[in-house]
Every structure is written in C-alpha cells, then in structure tokens.
Chain A
Amino acid sequence: MKVYADNAATTKVRPEALDAYVKTSQTLFGNPSSLHSEGQRAKELLEDCRARVAAVLGADPREIYFTSGGSEADNQAILSAAKSGALKGKKKIVSTAIEHHAVLHTLEKLKKEGFEVVLLPVDGSGIVKVADAEAAIDENCCLVSVMTANNEIGTIQPVEEIGALCRAKKVPFHTDAVQAVGHLPVDVNKFGCDYLALSGHKFEGPRGVGALYCRRGAPLFNLVEGGAQERGKRAGTEDLPAIAAMTVALELAVKNLPETAKTVQTLRDFVIDGLSSIPHCALNGDRERRLAGNVSFCFEGVEGEALLLYLDDLGVCASSGSACTSGSLDPSHVLLAIGRVHDVAHGSLRLTFNENNTMEEMKYLVEAVKTVVSKVRSFSPVWRDLQTGKRQYIL
C-alpha cells in the first residue's frame, strides 16, 4: 500500500485546480498588463481571483498581493514592517522560537542589521503564552510575528489574543498562516493582523504561488524592482494560471471546512491513539490545539532518517525533524523549543494528512510505524542501553 502522509510538506494538486490552471493557460494567456482584449480578459480574471481570495480571508481585494509563495510573503511583510519601523527609530521585533525558517532567517538577517529580535518561548505543548507576548511588546516594537499554526508539531497559536494585544499597543502584527489557511477558519479581522502569509500548495493548489494580505495603511515595500504589477508592490508578470488554480483550491478547501476537518481529525486521532501504544514515545505538541491533519511523535532510541527510509520501503511517505534529514548538526528547532533533548529529538516522525487519506491507510500506517520502530530499535545501541539500564529513559 502507498500512503502519502506528508501533506504539510506539499499536497497533490486537486483536479479542479489543475483544470483551472490548464484552462487559464490555454484560454486566458494574455498578459494582464497588456492593453488588448486578451490582456484585459486576463486582468479581469486576476482581479476576480484577488476578490475571491480576499473574501475567504475577510479582507478587501486591495489588501491581497499575489506572491511566489509563503516564504516571499513572509519576507515581504517582515522586511516592510522593519524598514518602516527603523525610519521611526523602532527596531525591536517580537516573534517566537518555533517560527518557520522563512520568518526566522529573515529575522536573523535583521538582527545582523541592528534590530533587536525577541523570540518568545513556547510551553511543553508548543504554545506561546499571551502573557509573554504582552511582556515583550513595548514602544520600541515595530512588529510582532506569530505563526497561526506550526508546520512541524501542528500546534495552533493564540493569534486572536496576540492580535488584540497588538491592536491595543498599536504594534503591527504579522502571522505566517501557511499551514492554517484552508485547514482552519482564517479571518484577518478576527486575527487582528496587519500581515498574513499563505501558500497555494498547502491546500491542494499549485506550488510557486501564494499571497500576502497587507492591511490598508500598513507599510509595504517591494522586494523586486520592475514593472507596476500588484500595485507596484511586486514586479514581474503575474502567474495567472497558478493564481487561478490556487483560488479554486482555496475556495474548495474552505467550502466544506468543518466537515473535512472533522474527517481528517478522525484519521489523526486514530493514528495518535495507535502510535501511543509504542513504548517510550511521546506526542509532540498539544493533543487538542493542533491542526486536524498533524501527528508528530518522538521515539526513544531511534533515529529519524532511518525511520523514514524504512517507512518509504513500506510505501509510507513521512517526514522527520532529525538532524540527519536536514544535513545540519542540530535537530529541529521546534522540537528543541518544546523541551525535547537532542537524543530524543533525533527520533522524531511527522505524519500529515488531508482529505485524500483514508482510514484503511491509517490502519496500515500505524502497523508500518510499529514495525519500523521495532526494527530500528532491534539494532540500536541506545535502545539496548536503555533496556539494560545503562542509560535512563527520557520518554
């Protein structure tokens, strides 16, 4: 059996989105900046897509900027707020320790340029405390950036509360909603955010396309110089087929959202319950406040890459936060932030589902993971030491 359980990495494009892609590239291929009728028809579709994406987010169409994806949107939002803040002498940014690298690396860059970056910790379940945000936000803050939901451990952050806090303190608020849009109700007004980043391929749209919501009045500078596309904020001919496909995928994702989330959650809970019976393992992230399709575990005495490769042999596509899968020395910063020590963080496994997964797959998956964990442990000197008492169990 083949089980694709890596939907947080990317998804299979849904047929309706693919149809929109093909149809747009074949029948609306004009450049939206062209004056002729082909161009103007394309322009109409572009603006129609903008309005539809805006409607899903509760935004005004003029607040939506199409980008190449979530990373670009995150970069543009953060760099814009920082640049604007610096002009006013405000050079402090508050974010969290568990952000995606699109946010963290942008902040590191700003740090080198003299910004003060405060990364809020998370508790053991991977959730930021609103009180910590409140304590960190002061008059020097030019931006607060807190992700809506975490990509590795699926935890849903208190963005509405933090948004309200930012409103009250008059500090711009950005949220990386790449993992949330299409999976959770996302409303820019409820969130109280000034910036929001989303990515098409996380909800069965194409990759290479995303959007930035930027509240009217919030500063926005372009990253690429060139033509006047996206009201001068993002140069380059719009990828209209991808934008059209993403729009269709987004509308379909939110159309039956409560029902879909419930179905996917049933799969998730089945897998969490099934894997919990493996000795010396732990679920990463909060049991309740997590994305409907996210399962993340650490298994003691096991290394994640070996787990993934053996699972791949059994037809299961999964992901891990082990150092070996990233080519770096350290395991995932998210797992370290929730207090997993290195030894344990190396043995992580992330399984992410969507509505294309079935219960039959989940049953197979749970057995496959059990088999593979036992196999890896059977020749792990760490596991032997744990079992013989030479090493103390952590989980």
Chain B
Amino acid sequence: MSLYSEKVMDHFRNPRNVGVIENPDGVGEVGNAKCGDIMKMYIKVENGILVDVKFETFGCGSAIASSSMATEMIKGKPLSEALALTNKAVTEALGGLPAYKLHCSVLAEQAVQAAILDYYKKNNIPYDPADFKNALEEHGHGDGDGE
C-alpha cells in the first residue's frame, strides 16, 4: 500500500508532455509558490484542435501526475472538449487521489482552462466567461469533488 495509485505513480515517474512549447498559442499558469504548487500549461491550436500541449509543474507527486494526465486527456481534442475537462475526470483517470490531494486535480482543470482563455483573448475570439469560471477563481486547497 502506497500513498498513491499505480496510475498516479506512473504519471509521476514518467510525466507525459512535460516541457515548454516555444511560441505557444496560449499559456495558463495557476496556483502559487506560497501554497507549494504551480501549474503552467502551454497549448498549440490548429483549426480549433489542441495539436500540442505541454506542462511544467512545481508541486507534489499528485500535482505532477494530475498535470500529466490532463495533458494526455486533452491533446488532439477540440477546444470544446478540453474545456469540458473536469477535475473529477482527471482524478478518476488517475485511479483516485487522497482526499487532501484533490485540489491538485482542480489545479489541472484550471490550468487547461487558463491556457485556452489566454488563446481566446490573444486571438480576440469571443467566449462565454461561464466556461472559465474555475480558471478565474482564486486557487485554494481543499477544493474539488470529494470521492
């Protein structure tokens, strides 16, 4: 029995899509160093499709795994699908997270939305602020759907 599921440890040990995208179409950064976790998401968009996604994370094992999983879940998908990504879906895909680590999956959801919002703003694409409610919220621990 370890702290995290096999899936979390796999994504932590071998993070997918880690790194930066030079000249990205959108960048989203959420969290803060004071709280001990920051996620930065870089996206490349072509014809409404996320053709590339990369992330950098300062944070614990579940923060790294959550960001890795989130990138895997949205890469190659249309923006509308990526926007619908929830922290719950990330958590489930990871095979669950300890209750006090759920905020890491919330950060992943927020980071994706923040990157897409940045893309919309840069390109003057009209958007519905309701779709970005979470990304605009202050980061706090203890958020997220309980399991």
Q: Does B44 reach chain A (CB closer than 8 Å)?
A: no
- 0/1 interface trace, chain A 301-330, chain B, CB 8 Å (1 if under): 111111001000100000000111101010
For the complex, give the distance between the alpha carbons of A384 and B13 in Å.
20
Q: Does A116 reach chain B (CB closer than 8 Å)?
A: no
Q: How far is the CB of A375 from chain B (nearest CB, A)?
A: 10
Q: Does B64 reach chain A (CB closer than 8 Å)?
A: yes
Q: How far is the CB of A377 from chain B (nearest CB, A)?
A: 9
- In the bound complex, residues from chain A placing their C-beta under 8 Å from that of B12 are 306, 309
Given contacts A313-B13, A327-B100, contact A343 B61 (CB under 8 A): no
Residue tally, chain B, CB below 8 Å to A: 28
For A302, give the chain B residue with the smallest CB separation: B58
Interface residues of chain B: helix, strand, loop or mixed (majority) = mixed
Q: How far is the CB of A159 from chain B (nearest CB, A)?
A: 33
User: How many A residues touch the partner, as a band?
Assistant: 20 to 34
| Partner pick for B36 among A323, A381, A383, CB 8 A cutoff | A323
Q: Does B125 reach chain A (CB closer than 8 Å)?
A: no
Q: Does B33 reach chain A (CB closer than 8 Å)?
A: yes
Given contacts A331-B36, A342-B36, contact A380 B61 (CB under 8 A): no
Interface residues of chain A: helix, strand, loop or mixed (majority) = helix
For the complex, give the distance between the alpha carbons of A22 and B101 in Å.
41
| Partner pick for A306 among B55, B61, B100, CB 8 A cutoff | B61
- In the bound complex, residues from chain B placing their C-beta under 8 Å from that of A346 are 33, 36
Q: Does A382 reach chain B (CB closer than 8 Å)?
A: yes
| Partner pick for B56 among A304, A306, A342, A380, CB 8 A cutoff | A380
Q: Please report A residues at the B interface, Cβ cutoff 8 Å.
A: 301-306, 309, 313, 322-325, 327, 329, 331, 341-343, 346, 379-384
A-B contacts, 5 listed (Cβ < 8 Å): A306-B61, A306-B64, A341-B34, A342-B36, A380-B56
